[in-house]
């Protein structure tokens, strides 16, 4: 990045972001050891807040974290023609493609989740290519197109060879979409880069996925959880000194048409936006415990999500859907007023 800071003017967080960092204004305004940077990355706004007395060390660490996250984002984006993910899609039906270790880890994690979720999560949903959810470009995919594309969606046709660090999509026309599982590892890479450069107290918020370590001026970081049914309101706040809050919902990228809400989390079995839940938040100490499960649970719905959660020790959850709001007992006990 040639030392250039990635900065944006401050702007309100979108109401669709279900997890937000609650940073006291007086801390950001008067505390010289606290610094906050923002940038557009991974198709969303990413905020980094760090606390360290040395301004030079803070800036060096922030620049390094942005550089690492941007490197991995560019590698895994399906929207960049030069990315390894795009190369895999172009080579579908033919040769295997060499991939970087970071991408291989994401692909392996996605395949494992696909098996454990019985296909509710599927890395090959990129074949449903006719949807558009960006403002001003909204487009509903035709049912006939989804039926044709459905034949190209099957995680079992993604072949991985760790011994040669290569991957292959077995059938022509298949496409990868890592949107549901790549963001948290990329944010985690940024946090690790900060830590490697001496920043112990840090928080990264990327479109509602929040990772943190240490504290803010001797106090735990506070993370607010929005109510997906009324996203202008907070359900409460969590205090964390390390861990992850992974949020998914139908608010961040989507649109209304003819009285129906269309959003970017697609059911792999139909190509239609999921209808099982409106939003959820998963809280854990480790990224690996929750990565990708938000998308799978959005597709599966509350009853199946709650069944899965019984086999996920150390994970607390908030689920919101047509049947109402459900909080795991551990999360209910930790939420305080925001």
Q: What's the pLDDT tens digit per position in 82-137?
A: 999 999 999 999 999 999 999 999 999 999 999 999 999 999 999 999 998 888 88
Query: By CB neighbour count within 10 A (0-12 exposed, 13-18 middle, 19+ buried), where does 94 fall?
Result: exposed
d(CA 73, CA 212): 20
Q: Which one has a higher pLDDT value, 228 or 198?
A: 198
d(CA 21, CA 47): 9
pLDDT at 24: 65
Domains of the chain in sequence order: 19-74+181-334 (3.10.520.10), 84-169 (1.10.3980.10)
Which residues, 6 or more positions from 134, have their beta carbon under 8 angstroms from its beta carbon?
253
Contact 69, 40 (CB under 8 A): no
Instruction: Name the pLDDT band for 7 (thresholds 50, 70, 90).
Output: very low
Please state the rounded mean pLDDT for residues 172-195. 97
Instruction: Name the pLDDT band for 3 (thresholds 50, 70, 90).
Output: very low
d(CA 133, CA 285): 32
Statement: residue 10 has pLDDT above 60 = no
Q: What's the pLDDT tens digit per position in 200-243?
A: 999 999 988 999 999 999 999 999 998 887 777 889 999 999 99
Q: Which one has a higher pLDDT value, 30 or 197?
A: 197
Q: Per DSSP, what are the bridge partners of residue 37?
A: 48
Instruction: Name the pLDDT band for 17 (thresholds 50, 70, 90).
Output: low
Work out the widest C-alpha separation in the chain, in whole angstroms.
59
Residue for token digits 């963001």? 183
**CA dist 294 → 78, 170, 181, 209, 313 (Å):** 20, 27, 9, 11, 16
Statement: residue 146 has pLDDT above 80 = yes
Closest CA to 203 of 68, 37, 76: 37
d(CA 302, CA 278): 10
Q: What's the pLDDT tens digit per position in 22-41?
A: 766 555 545 689 999 999 99
Q: What's the pLDDT tens digit per position in 55-89?
A: 999 999 999 999 999 999 999 999 999 999 999 99
d(CA 28, CA 1): 25
pLDDT at 230: 77
Q: What's the pLDDT tens digit per position in 272-312?
A: 999 989 999 999 999 999 999 999 999 999 999 999 999 99
pLDDT at 6: 30
pLDDT at 231: 73
pLDDT at 42: 84
Q: Which one has a higher pLDDT value, 11 or 194?
A: 194
Helix (H) or strand (E) holding 14: none
Residue for token digits 């959810």? 133
Instruction: Name the pLDDT band for 322 (thresholds 50, 70, 90).
Output: confident
**101-107 long-range contacts, Cβ below 8 Å, gap at least 24?**
101/165, 102/72, 102/75, 102/76, 102/185, 102/189, 103/75, 103/76, 103/167, 104/160, 104/162, 104/165, 104/167, 105/185, 106/76, 106/178, 106/181, 106/182, 106/185, 107/158, 107/160, 107/167
d(CA 109, CA 170): 19
d(CA 133, CA 254): 5
Instruction: Name the pLDDT band for 43 (thresholds 50, 70, 90).
Output: confident
């Amino acid at each position: 990045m040639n030392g250039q800071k990635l900065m944006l003017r401050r702007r309100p967080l979108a109401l669709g972001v279900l997890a937000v960092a609650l940073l006291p204004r007086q801390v950001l305004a008067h505390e010289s050891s606290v610094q906050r940077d923002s940038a557009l990355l991974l198709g969303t706004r990413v905020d980094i807040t760090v606390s360290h007395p040395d301004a030079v060390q803070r800036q060096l660490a922030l620049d390094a974290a942005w550089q690492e996250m941007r490197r991995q984002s560019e590698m895994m984006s399906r929207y960049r023609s030069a990315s390894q993910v795009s190369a895999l899609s172009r080579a579908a039906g033919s040769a295997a493609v060499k991939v970087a270790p970071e991408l291989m880890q994401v692909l392996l994690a996605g395949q494992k989740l696909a098996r454990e979720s019985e296909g509710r999560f599927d890395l090959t949903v990129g074949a449903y290519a006719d949807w558009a959810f960006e403002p001003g470009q909204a487009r509903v995919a035709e049912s006939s197109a989804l039926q044709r594309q459905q034949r190209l969606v099957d995680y079992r046709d993604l072949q991985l060879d760790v011994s040669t660090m290569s991957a292959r999509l077995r059938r022509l026309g298949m496409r990868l979409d890592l949107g549901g599982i790549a963001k948290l590892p990329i944010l985690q890479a940024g946090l690790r880069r900060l830590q490697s450069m001496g920043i112990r107290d840090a928080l990264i918020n990327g479109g509602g996925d929040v990772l943190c370590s240490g504290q803010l001026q001797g106090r735990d970081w506070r993370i607010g959880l929005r109510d997906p049914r009324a996203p202008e309101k907070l359900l409460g706040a969590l205090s964390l000194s390390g861990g992850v809050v992974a949020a998914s919902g139908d608010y961040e990228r989507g649109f209304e048409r003819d009285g129906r809400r269309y959003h970017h989390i697609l059911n792999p079995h139909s190509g239609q936006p999921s209808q099982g839940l409106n939003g959820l938040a998963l809280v854990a100490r480790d990224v690996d415990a929750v990565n990708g499960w938000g998308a799978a649970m959005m597709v599966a719905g509350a009853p199946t999500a709650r069944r899965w959660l019984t086999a996920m020790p150390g994970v607390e959850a908030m689920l919101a859907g047509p049947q109402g709001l459900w909080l795991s007992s551990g999360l209910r006990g930790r939420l305080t007023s925001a």
